[in-house]
Structure 1
Amino acid sequence: MATSATMADYSEEMNSITMDYSDYTYFCDKTEVQKIFRKLQLCIYSIVFIVGLMGNSLVLGTYIYHKKLKVMTDVYLLNLAVADILFLFTLPFSAASSQAGWVFGKFMCRIVKLLYKMNLYSGFLFLMCISVDRYFVIVRAALAHRLRSKRLRYSRHITLIVWLFSTLLSLPEFIYAKVENSSESICWVIYPDSMKTWMRVATPILQMLLGFFLPLLVMIFCYSVIIKTLLQARNFEKHKAIKVILLVVLIFIVFQAPYTILTILSTVTKLRVGGVPCPESNRRDIAMEVTTCLAYTRCCLNPILYVFVGVKFRNNLLSLLRQCSSPANSSRRASVVNTVTTSTFTV
């Protein structure tokens, strides 16, 4: 009888408890959200891949046609195009996985994650290098003139350092990327349980500090001083010369910053006990998907910007297209073009 009474009391107690499953993401129904994601990803990724590959290939083709780079800024902008092309080659894998899950294996999962992060960090670091170069050319013109013969050689060494540093910052993505099988295979970065919680949070935050926010602070300082110098000089030609670079930096920040900030917030919320409520989880998924598409779109905007704003690049591109359509006079045109000593990409 005692046992029977105890079981009855336990049953009554359990029936009186109302379980709130809304706080557990396991019970979230994300079917509709995933359908929207699949359509959006396939459309955006395909457009970015085609437009970005064509545009950045034209940038590389223009460089090859003109034989050599003239200034440090050209070296950095060219490497920016190379970084974008490397990333664009990963988009077909991402587009295919958005429709049928990740079917390309663990190694390609790691390569795709590595190349995206390398594109992100190298892009911002090269823009930082451009801002420092423009600072010396405009603000410290006398020093830049004295080092004129060495600056282009320095740029090649700096370029190698940027690529190595970007690879180092991206290594956690390569090391910890894995393919997880649930309803369908997913390629993502998962830190092992053996890693301490603070390290799992500190690693992506440190990546963003060194690869995003530090270059951003350097650029803000350099361009603030540059703009102040130009306003004091009242030199319209110098205003035109900096216009393309400022627009490239602005586009990079506007399109990349939302994704970066959401990534940091997502990392921090992993510390929350009990997970994220279902409605909030859905909102975050949507926000992350939209900002990811924005970040990917950035890779095809720079060449468009060069064409519509950069007069010299537009003229050089037209020369390249004329060479392709009429190769008979290409040697004469190339000899004329190679006498130009100004920047290929800027105004």
Structure 2
Amino acid sequence: MNVTTASSPETTEFEYEPYDNENGAGNVCEYEQHGISFLPVIYSLFFVVGLLGNVLVLWVIIFGVKLRSMSDVCLLNLAIADLLLVCSLPFLAHQARDQWAFGDAMCKMVLGAYHIGFYCGIFFIILMSIDRYLAIVHAVYAMKARTLTFGMIAAAVTWFAGFLASFPDIIFLKVETDRSSQKSICGASLVNETATGNRHFWTIFGLFKMNILGLLIPMTIMCFCYAQIIWKLLHTQSSKKQSIRLVLIVVAVYFCCWMPYSLASFFRALELIKVLHSCRISNDIRLALQVTQAIAYSHSCLNPILYVFVGERFRKNLLRLMSRAPCRVCRVMKTLIPSDRGRMSSTYSTSTTGDERSNAI
């Protein structure tokens, strides 16, 4: 029987454990199959939107922007990390509807990419927040540090950090047969029949690791960086209210997408250490994990939307590429994209070089 860690797709079955029923006697908790009704549809939708959106980002950055700064490198790698995550969604959709039917090797490959993309996406958002902070608050002193070369080095370090953060989850990835439904399930199996305590240690470790690396540290860094950015914009003659709204949108979107899932994972950890111990609560936590993880996945789809409708520089390059494209679909899409939004995303203010001003989210 497999027990999943926090960052594993929570479409797998939790281990059946004895819980106290209303009469105080021990009883085996049976979990309701809530995810079958909505997870396949949501995952499929997020896959289509996330794939198209992030491929569009890659197209603009590679052929339009052509990697001129550290910011461009961050955007490129964030799109790649998001693609790693969204490309796992069709497999997870099939597993949520039926079972894992793609073998053990694909289980390790698909969910391994999911874990790495999960953490790398978060780390690149942190890197982009630091980049914006340096660009606005320490623009003069940071010009030498925000070069293309430094951006590539920072990207390589970020990928390595994301790879390390995915451990020990990716070590335990395997396909097992669920004891209750007799279905094949792909997940991080931490079961060791001779060491139950070891199993719970790694499961709880994974849950708290996701909360710390996936929410606490990113939110702390982002709040500090954007608080300094807002303070700087408010105390400059050319401060723009629209720029302040933009940085608040970035923090709000990230917070709304990931906070619910982190809270649900935290309650799952409390369940494992027996702070919460009832069948009803366990079923509620399982449903909450499925719903909130689907919300968290939407962040990979929202990033490209923020680029197009908020990032002025990105939008201009997209419109220019669509004008040159020989396809009619591109020309139709061009009419749906606002061509001028009053320099809304001039987040880098007048202290930034013209080439990097109004950069993406």
Instruction: Note whether the superposition's TM-score is higher than 0.5.
Output: yes
CA distance in 2, matches of 1:253, 1:115: 23
2:71–2:356 contact (8 Å) kept in structure 1: no
Distance change in 2, residues 1:208/1:111 (3 Å): farther
Corresponding residue for residue 163 of structure 2: 167
CA-atom RMSD in angstroms: 2.7
Q: How far did 1:314 drift?
A: 1.8
Matched, 1:250 2:252: yes
Corresponding residue for residue 187 of structure 2: 188
1:1-347 residue pairs with structure 2 within 5 A?
20=23, 24=27, 26-28=28-30, 30=32, 34=33, 36-66=34-64, 68-145=66-143, 147=144, 151-182=147-178, 183=181, 184-193=183-192, 194=195, 195=198, 197-237=200-240, 240=242, 244=246, 246-272=248-274, 276-325=277-326, 341-342=355-356, 345-346=359-360
Paired AA for residue 314 in structure 1 = R
CA distance in 2, matches of 1:126, 1:80: 6
SS at structure 2 position matched to 1:325: coil
Corresponding residue for residue 330 of structure 1: none
CA distance in 2, matches of 1:86, 1:206: 20
SS at structure 2 position matched to 1:191: coil
2:177–2:184 contact (8 Å) kept in structure 1: yes
Aligned residues: 309
Question: Which structure's relative contact order is higher, taking Cα pairs within 8 Å and 6+ residues apart?
Answer: 1
With structure 2 as the length reference, what TM-score do the two structures score? Answer: 0.77
- After superposition, the C-alpha distances for 1:44-75 in whole angstroms (9 at most, x for unaligned) are 01111111111111111111222522332222
Q: How far did 1:156 drift?
A: 0.7
Q: How far did 1:313 drift?
A: 1.7
Larger Rg: 1
1:177–1:189 contact (8 Å) kept in structure 2: yes
Q: Which runs of 5+ in 1 are unaligned?
A: 1-17, 328-339
CA distance in 2, matches of 1:343, 1:214: 27
CA distance in 2, matches of 1:72, 1:277: 50
CA distance in 2, matches of 1:246, 1:79: 23
Q: How far did 1:95 drift?
A: 0.9
Give % identity: 34
- After superposition, the C-alpha distances for 1:185-215 in whole angstroms (9 at most, x for unaligned) are 2222232333264454234423532343223
CA distance in 2, matches of 1:200, 1:66: 44
- After superposition, the C-alpha distances for 1:248-275 in whole angstroms (9 at most, x for unaligned) are 34312210121122123212321218x8
CA distance in 2, matches of 1:303, 1:37: 27
